[in-house]
Amino acid sequence: MSKVRSDNISNRANDGAPKLTFGAEVPVGYGITGAGFINVSGVSTFSGNVSVGGTLTYEDVTNVDSVGIITARTGIKVLAGGINAVGVVTATSFVGSGSSLTGIESWNQFDTWLYGGG
């Protein structure tokens, strides 16, 4: 078994980080710590929990399964299955007859009260 103990590892020219051509493996119970950045290109797989102490940003997302509050910069498109909402829904308009809406009074009830007819 080989051991290397060092406070700093650099490339051969001593002007940057070394290239880990065959990758790097961190044993169970250890981690990578530091105040710098980890830049990854390509596919990354995490088999355990992932914690983010700041802001997680992402682009080019096609499928997101989530439970919680939706915030969107632009529209939200639901292509299949519809939306089942429990709680308060705020919208500027609804499409359809409204015959399945509950907890609201129909116009006919107000018409009868206001004008004595129906």
Q: Kindly report, residue by residue over 79-89, the tens digit of the pLDDT.
A: 787 777 777 77
**What are the Cα distances from residue 104, in Å, to 25, 30, 59, 80, 87?**
61, 59, 41, 27, 15
CA 91, CA 98: separation in Å to the nearest integer? 14
**What are the Cα distances from residue 49, in Å, to 38, 42, 45, 117?**
17, 20, 11, 64
**Mean pLDDT score across all residues of the chain:** 77
> Does the global pTM surpass 0.75?
no
> pLDDT band at 14, cuts 50/70/90?
very high
